[in-house]
Amino acid sequence: MARKAVDALAERDRLALLMREEGLDYNEIAEALELSPGSVGTTLSRARRRLVESYEALQRSREEREKNAAS
């Protein structure tokens, strides 16, 4: 489900998020993604929000399936 949530992200958001998770700083991420250093924060904030929202959406749908299956 985490994989689905990550795959649902835009490529740039996903890469920025994975680079940050790997320990790269904003300058390295900006250089890798050809972004301005000031826009990395915006990209990361958008990616994190979408990731969490997507994950929560998948989790809810799963719970609903299990609930429907149980019922």
Partner 1 sequence: MQHLDEGTIHSWLDGSLSADEAARVEAHVKECPQCASAVAEARGFIAASSRILTALDNAPRGVIPAAAPKRRIDPFVWRVAATVLVVAAGTLVVVRSRGSNERLMSPPSDTAALVTKATASEGAATAGAPTTSPFDHTVETAGVSRAPASAFSGRGAARNSISGAIKGRYEAPREDARLGAGKAAGAGGVTAAAPTPPNAAIFAPSQIAGAVAMDAAEPQQLKLVGTPRRIGAKVSLYEVAPGDTVTLTESVPVQLQQTVVTGATASAVSPQAGRKAAPQARALTDAAARGGAAADSQPGANVQSSSGAVSAPAPAPALEMVSTINTIRWNDPVTGATLILSGRMSVARLQEIKIRIERERAAAAAKKNP
Among residues 10, 31, 45, 61, the one that binds partner 1 under rule CB under 8 A? 45
The count of other CB atoms within 10 Å of the CB of residue 15 is: 16
Residue where the block lists tokens 């299990």: 66
Residue where the block lists tokens 């979408």: 50
Among residues 31, 32, 49, 63, the one that binds partner 1 under rule CB under 8 A? 49
Q: Which is nearer to partner 1, 22 or 34 (CB)?
A: 22
Task: Note the residues at the interface with partner 1 (CB under 8 A).
Answer: 2-3, 5-6, 17-18, 20-21, 25-26, 37-49, 51-52, 55
